[in-house]
Amino acid sequence: MLSLYEKLGISRQTYDFGAEILKGLKSRFETIDEVAEYNQLKVLQAMQKNQVSEACLLGTTGYGYNDLGRDTLEAVYADVFHTEDALVRPQITCGTHALALALMSNLRPGDELLSPVGKPYDTLEEVIGIRPSRGSLAEYGITYRQVDLLPDGAFDYEEIRKAINDRTKLVTIQRSKGYQTRPTLSVGRIGELIAFVKQIKPDVICMVDNCYGEFVETIEPSDVGADMVVGSLIKNPGGGLAPIGGYIAGKKECVENAAYRLTSPGLGKEVGASLGILPDFYQGLFLAPTVTASALKGAIFAANIYEKLGFAVVPNGTESRHDIIQAVTFGTAEGVEAFCRGIQAAAPVDSHVTPEPWDMPGYDAKVIMAAGAFVSGSSIELSADGPIKPPYAVYFQGGLTWPHAKFGILKSLQSLIDGKIVEIG
Ligand SMILES: *Cc1c(COP(=O)(O)O)cnc(C)c1O
């Protein structure tokens, strides 16, 4: 084993450093495996109950009327999330599209959208119109209100109560911290927030941006009152196999609204050929619980390694986890770049490529990204990115298998050691 690690560029000292850290993580990894076991059975049960058959793996073309595989997959998703219905389509191009679709189809001119958990994910700013943009909700006369979390991360119940009014139609709750420093919300906390909102206004639609959160716990936000949960298939629920796609699971009316917007009024869920994509959607969902577990183990391993070396990590090494993202603050551009070079060098695809910081559209500083993925841009695969600006933090996530996540983190550490940015032992 060691000689193979050495051939792949990991020194004995680096390997031993990792092995020492791992000794302390046994019981946490056991808990993660138990959650994966539970979720594996949940997915399997949904597949068996809906009688997924060989015929479901075939695709349709053209209009896609009576697409058995597509309709059955949507029933499976609805059962996994314990919702009335679901829309799971390759025509939903990404997570942002799924969220935009859920919002635009369930809000009407004059309605108000409320985020009681602070600023939403960057790309949603243009969807909502926080940053003026063509086609935003704001252009259609849908207003937006936001209540920030309190400095300690708690919900500002008093301000939320004041913000809810006659026009409040939909409340959006982002589960993952995304690329912010606030804590990720547990499903339990999301449930408390939804209960509070519904007690003030029972008919308000509560939507949860579930990106990066699926299968991290045994329950999902739809188990604690969310009317809609929304996410991307090139993150957790696609299991690394889905090459595109998004989902919306929830109340029948909400999902129908989304379907009429995705295709056309009158057509809704009835059209939308699945082409040849369904085997990857089914198999990806089947693998998603264990793939998510691998990514979680990688995040915890990274947190403990870099915490031990004295860097600020969010979440810290011992906190309970509610998504798969790990932030590490290096404090220098060199640290961020060395980390990302290590992750890239660990990839199964494009490992020979050296990532460089570049001016990405929509960002105010250069960003460096490491991703050698089978699916372009997939962040359930081992990946990292960091803006080259203070505090010089990287965001790390994914890993289709635990051995690969482990190797990637050791490779990042080796890169920092070789660059004389950190010292061990
Ligand atoms: C990734 C992500 C999105 C957007 O998904 P894309 O597929 O990148 O468009 C939205 N919200 C959160 C919390 C995310 O992590």
6 vs 266: CA distance, rounded Å: 61
Ligand 1 atom nearest the C-alpha of 177 is 13
419 vs 334: CA distance, rounded Å: 8
pLDDT of 84-118, one tens digit each?
Answer: 999 999 999 999 999 999 999 999 999 999 999 99
Q: What is the mean pLDDT of the chain?
A: 96
pLDDT at 425 over 80: no
pLDDT at 179 over 90: no
Ligand 1 atom nearest the C-alpha of 246 is 7
Run of H or E residues at 313: strand 312-314
When pLDDT is cut at 50, 70 and 90, the band that residue 218 belongs to is: very high
Taking domain 2-40+289-418, whether its CATH number is 3.90.1150.60 is answered by yes
Cβ contact 16:6 at 8 Å: no
Nearest CA to ligand 1 atom 14: 211
- The full set of domain ranges for the chain reads 2-40+289-418, 58-285
Residue 367 β-bridge partners: 358, 387
CA 36 to chain centre: 17
In the reported structure, the alpha carbon of residue 362 is separated from the centroid of ligand 1 by a whole-number distance in angstroms of 15
pLDDT at 16 over 70: yes
In the reported structure, the alpha carbon of residue 179 is separated from the centroid of ligand 1 by a whole-number distance in angstroms of 10
pLDDT of 149-174, one tens digit each?
Answer: 999 999 999 999 999 999 999 999 99
In the reported structure, the alpha carbon of residue 124 is separated from the centroid of ligand 1 by a whole-number distance in angstroms of 9
In the reported structure, the alpha carbon of residue 95 is separated from the centroid of ligand 1 by a whole-number distance in angstroms of 5
Ligand 1 atom nearest the C-alpha of 212 is 15
In the reported structure, the alpha carbon of residue 423 is separated from the centroid of ligand 1 by a whole-number distance in angstroms of 35
Residues with CB under 6 A from ligand 1: 94-96, 99, 121, 123, 174, 176, 178, 209, 211-212, 232
**Region 58-285: CATH code:** 3.40.640.10
Choosing from 103, 176, 210, 232 the residue with most ligand 1 atoms within 8 A of its CB, the one to mutate for a pocket test is 232
pLDDT of 115-135, one tens digit each?
Answer: 999 999 989 999 999 999 999
pLDDT at 228 over 90: yes
Sheet-wide strand order for 246-250: 85-89, 246-250, 228-232, 205-209, 168-174, 112-115, 143-146
Least confident interval from 7-21, 98-112, 365-379: 365-379
Residue 206 β-bridge partners: 171
When pLDDT is cut at 50, 70 and 90, the band that residue 319 belongs to is: very high
Q: What is the mean pLDDT of residues 264-292?
A: 97
In the reported structure, the alpha carbon of residue 97 is separated from the centroid of ligand 1 by a whole-number distance in angstroms of 9
Q: What is the DSSP string of 395-422?
A: EEE--SSHHHHHHHHHHHHHHHHHTTS-
Q: What is the mean pLDDT of residues 216-233?
A: 98
pLDDT at res. 363:
73
pLDDT at 137 over 90: yes
pLDDT at res. 410:
98
pLDDT at res. 104:
98
Q: What is the mean pLDDT of residues 286-298?
A: 98
Choosing from 211, 248, 363 the residue with most ligand 1 atoms within 8 A of its CB, the one to mutate for a pocket test is 211
pLDDT at res. 362:
62
Cβ contact 129:107 at 8 Å: no
pLDDT at res. 247:
98
